[in-house]
Structures are given as C-alpha cells and as structure tokens.
Structure 1
Amino acid sequence: MRRVAPFSAQQWHYAHATFYGDETARETMQGACGYGNLFRQGYGTATTALSTTLFNKGFACGSCFEIKCAGSSACNNGNPSTIVTATNLCPANWQRPTNNGGWCNPPRRHFDMSRPAFDKIAYWRAGIVPIAYRRVPCMKQGNMQFMIEGNPWWHIVFITNVGGPGDIGQVYIRGTNTRGWVQMTHNWGVGYHIFQSYMGQCISFMVISNSNFETVMAWDVAPSSWQLGQSFSGGQFQRPH
C-alpha cells in the first residue's frame, strides 16, 4: 500500500457564504451527502452545503473547511473563524442571476452554512457575506463508521466519521468467501453500492481519499453475522503531525 503524507491545511481562497434554516439547524438534516441525522452521526451544527462547483458530484462530502468573514461590516468582532464539514449540496437556482439570489449557480464557489455555524463568523441579518476559506484536516474521534443498507442481493454502504482529508474517492469491499478486493460504485454522497451479496461473510473495506489518495484498510469490519441496517467501526486516516 502506497504511503502518503497526512492531509494538511491548504491555502486560503475567497468566496461568499449564506445560511439556511434557523438556529436549531433542523433543516440541515437528511442532506445530499447521505449522512442522515447529523446530530446522531456526530457532525452537529458545524456543517455547510456546497455550491455545485465545490460539491464535485458528491466527492467533496466530508471535507472540512475553515471559514472566516472577510471585509464586511457584518463580520463578528475579532473576525473569528469556524470549521465546518460539507454535508449537503446547495443547488443552482437558474431563475435568479448569479450575483442576486443564484448564489450557488456554477461556476460560483459558495457556502450555504447552517445558521449556528454562520452566527460564529457574522451577523445573521446580513444574509450573505464575503469569506475566506481553506481546506483543513478533519479531526474525528475514533474510527470510520460503515452503515450497510440495501437488500440481500444489493448493498449500499454509507461511510461517516472520516478523518484527515474527510472525503472519499474510491471504496473496495472484500468478503471472507470472495476472492480479492472488488470496487464499489459511487451511488451518491458518501454512499457506495455493489450488486453482489456479501451476507454471511466477514467484510473488510478499503477506502481511498479523493484528495490525496491516502488509503486505509479496515479489516474485518463486519462479522459474518452482520445484518442490514447495522453500523460497524474500523480504520481511520492519518492524523496531521
């Protein structure tokens, strides 16, 4: 397995940010990345939706960003930054121009943050503010989580709590009764599927980051007695030095 350096913070870029929902962040649940209940999955309210350009067909799901307000009277005192995880898509609105309501229209880079996350950088009544942002390592506790859904002949695995680069580019599965690693197909967000039954087998996963191609082997994640709807823990990307 090829070794790569741990994912590290990248350079700053400029964009704009808005927010959706209220201070409870209830509207951020069940987003386009497939995380479901963000509180239950450990992401809480530190989340954002990405414009189509940044979302990258779902391969940006799980990426972590440091965001701070830049050059606006609405910026909070001291210009603090906050770190959020990409958990949703902000779709294009072709009925509105890019600079007036169509904030997430391509090729615009835009963050539609949860209201609590936006409140940490700016006064909410501003609605939209210019920001500086950069990718940063995702600091997660424990291992990655693998939730297996589907049916006895077709499985889809949702992978959450991904540290380091946070994002996922490729996923492979291996069963105790199958030969070698088999690549899964990107379904949507953090979901990867395969049209083959692995029930009754102990399952391992190989996860490859979309950002830096770091590879993690999560051996024997699910026992042979696993059932659909269950979650299992195993493997994690390197922590930055």
Structure 2
Amino acid sequence: MSLALLSTLSILILFSLFYITTSQYSLSSSSSFSRSPQSSPSLFEWRSAHATYYDAADPREAVGGACGYGDLVKSGYGMATVGLSETLFERGRICGACFELKCVDDLRWCIPGTSIIVTVTNFCAPNYGFTSEGGGHCNAPNKHFVLPIEAFEKIAIWKAGNMPVHYRRVKCRKEGGIRFTISGSGIFLSVLITNVGGTGDIVGVKVKGSRTGWLPMGRNWGQNWHVNALLQNQPLSFEVTGSDGLRLTSYNLAPKDWSFGQTFEGKQFET
C-alpha cells in the first residue's frame, strides 16, 4: 500500500472520529438545554426548615394575604395553606405551589408517620427587630413556614412552637379546572388565577379576544395578572404557563357578554 493511500485513509479515519464525537456532543448539549429546570428530581428532595402556626382568630385565615387569593375558604384552599419566609417566597412568584411538610427531630411534639400538603398563599414578613435565631423566624436566610393551627396540628402538637420540619415541593392536585376571576375597568383588565394543578405556580399568562392576537399579561402581584387592552364584547381565551414550562390554553373561556367580577373555570394541568 502506497504512502499516499495510507495518508488518505488516516485523514478519513480522523475525520470520522471527529464527526462522531461532535455529533454526540451536539445531541447531548441540545437535550440538556431543553430540559426544564422544574423537572430536576432535586426539587422533590426533602430539605430542612422550621414551622410555626397562627391561631384561628388571626385575620390571615380570611384575607388570603400576599398572593391575592382573598377568602381562602371561598377560593377552595381551606386551611391547607402556608405563608413562606422571604428566602422561600420569591417575591410572590411561588404563589400557588404545593409543599409537603413533616415534623422531625423532636419525639416529644412530633406526630409520627404524618405529613401534610399545603398550598402557598401568603408571605411571612421578616422582623429585623429580632435576630434570625431569637424571634425573627422569617428573617433571611431562614427557611420558614407559617401554617394555620389546624394544619400544624396534623404533624405536631401545638405546644411545640418553632418546630423543625422537612419539606419538599410536590405536584398540586386540585378539584376542577383553573379559575380565572376577571376584574378591572375600561381598558384595564386584571385576572386572578387560582386552583392551579401541576406545579401550581404560574410564570406566564396570555389573553386573546376574538378581535385581537395573543396579548402577554404582566404580573401585578401574587397571582394577579393584568393587561391594558379593550377586550369588552369579545369572547376571551387564556393561555397559562407553569414554572415547568408546560402551557395550557382554554379557548373562548369567557363568553362575549362577560363582565368584571365574574369567575370562569378552564382546563386543568394533568397530575
């Protein structure tokens, strides 16, 4: 075999190896890029935190707090709710997410073999008049949960006070579809989104009238979303995006004669 032929074969072999390696690298990179952050199993691993409770006379039971859900019983959340410390609350982006909590490390007060699943509906404000170890339970960097006493007593005896817990994100399982409550006036349209299954927290909302294209809505606060557009006398469709990237569209959800103050029930994320 001539030297020229050997050189040609060597070049072809090297080129083939380079092509295979490059192709494998490109495929791996593409797959990693498209993977949703919320699909990471680590989000469902147990982590350490603390939990306290508020009693039945506390107004938080009725007003719903920083996520804007209003009366928690009327909006379907009941007492299986929680307020999060600043470190966990993510400025309201996590409103609607679900967590499983269980009491740990204290055999005197824990109720063995129990856990509770709660939905994020409120914010526990920091109190920097106290240290994070001496009364400022919701101060950064503490990971802290504040529960209605009815929920707290499912995992621990109320005398426990500031209780060590383990927590993890879980999927939300809700009865019925996602609810859209429309409010506003004139060209200002606001929509409160509740009863969300799946990841529970919404990161994007769009609305469409019969005479418009899809209009992105901005987060006002909690799970209240708004847009400036003239949408009266048009059936409305809504598209919501969960924090896992899944989208769900409810077409012509509100009829042409919808009015401010009405609530409409759309499709639901599969769980």
TM over 0.5: yes
Question: Is contact 1:61-1:167 (8 Å) kept?
Answer: yes
Q: How far off its partner does 1:155 sit? A: 1.1
State the one-letter code of the partner of 1:198: L
Partner of 2:253: 221
Q: Matches of 2:44 and 2:198 in 1, distance apart?
A: 13
Partner of 2:49: 15
Q: How far off its partner does 1:25 sit? A: 6.7
Question: Is contact 1:216-1:235 (8 Å) kept?
Answer: yes
* SS of residue in 1 equivalent to 2:137: coil
Q: How far off its partner does 1:149 sit? A: 0.7
Q: How far off its partner does 1:113 sit? A: 0.8
Q: Matches of 1:74 and 1:40 in 2, distance apart?
A: 36
Per-residue deviation, residues 47-71 of structure 1 (Å, max 9, x unmatched): 1001111111111111111000010
Q: How far off its partner does 1:75 sit? A: 3.4
Give the alignment's Cα RMSD to 1 decimal: 2.1
State the one-letter code of the partner of 2:122: N
Question: Is contact 2:103-2:111 (8 Å) kept?
Answer: no
Q: Matches of 1:49 and 1:77 in 2, distance apart?
A: 21
* Residue correspondence of structure 1 range 71-110 to structure 2 within 5 A: 71-110=105-144
State the one-letter code of the partner of 2:126: A
Question: Is contact 1:76-1:120 (8 Å) kept?
Answer: no
State the one-letter code of the partner of 2:78: G
* SS of residue in 1 equivalent to 2:48: strand
State the one-letter code of the partner of 2:51: A
Q: How far off its partner does 1:74 sit? A: 4.2
Percent of paired sites with the same residue: 42
* Residue correspondence of structure 1 range 57-136 to structure 2 within 5 A: 57-136=91-170
Question: Is contact 1:74-1:129 (8 Å) kept?
Answer: no
Q: How far off its partner does 1:76 sit? A: 3.2
Q: Which one is further off, 72-81 or 219-228?
A: 72-81
Partner of 1:50: 84
Partner of 1:137: 171
Q: How far off its partner does 1:151 sit? A: 0.7
Q: Matches of 1:189 and 1:81 in 2, distance apart?
A: 26
Unpaired stretches in structure 1, ≥5 consecutive residues: none
Q: How far off its partner does 1:79 sit? A: 3.6
Unpaired stretches in structure 2, ≥5 consecutive residues: 1-33
State the one-letter code of the partner of 1:45: M
Q: Matches of 1:155 and 1:16 in 2, distance apart?
A: 39
Q: How far off its partner does 1:83 sit? A: 0.6
TM value normalised by structure 2: 0.82
Partner of 1:195: 228
Aligned length: 235
Larger RCO (CA within 8 A; separation ≥ 6):
1
* SS of residue in 2 equivalent to 1:29: helix
More helix by share: 2
- Structure 1 pair 74/93, CA: closer, same or farther in 2 (3 Å)? farther
Partner of 2:193: 159
